[in-house]
Amino acid sequence: MQHKLTLKIYYEDTDAGGVVYYANYLRYFERARTEFLESLGIKVSSYAQNGIKFVVVRTEIDYISPAKLGDVLEIETKLKQLKKVSLIFEYTATRKLDKKLIVKGITKLACVDNNLKLIKIPNEIYKLLSQSLPK
């Protein structure tokens, strides 16, 4: 399963050169991942309030082409790997107008409790996530 998030680039997203500031892609990935999870019925904020949190432990981004003010991007999110306490998401961002690849990346998340101790991903979340893995 994949999920697409569409977002417009505003002035606040850009650097002095008029292109998207490189670190903003991490914010876009975060939004896209949250929407992906919520599309599966996993409300991140509810689980966090109950001591089940997902923290990023690794990220990797390849910058292919610049996005600029006014561009509309589509962030495609896929679950690439699911383990007992961790999961890996894969992202691609393309410009909607011409389908040009802008960036691609991954994030690895670990499931932790309120004390940031690793815990198993709860069964109900694991089942929903496993259904979204590529066959």
Catalytic site positions: 15
Q: Which amino acid is at 24?
A: N
> With contact defined as beta carbons under 8 Å apart, do 29 and 75 qualify?
yes
Containing 123, the helix (H) or strand (E) segment is: helix 123-130
> With contact defined as beta carbons under 8 Å apart, do 75 and 5 qualify?
yes
Containing 89, the helix (H) or strand (E) segment is: strand 86-95
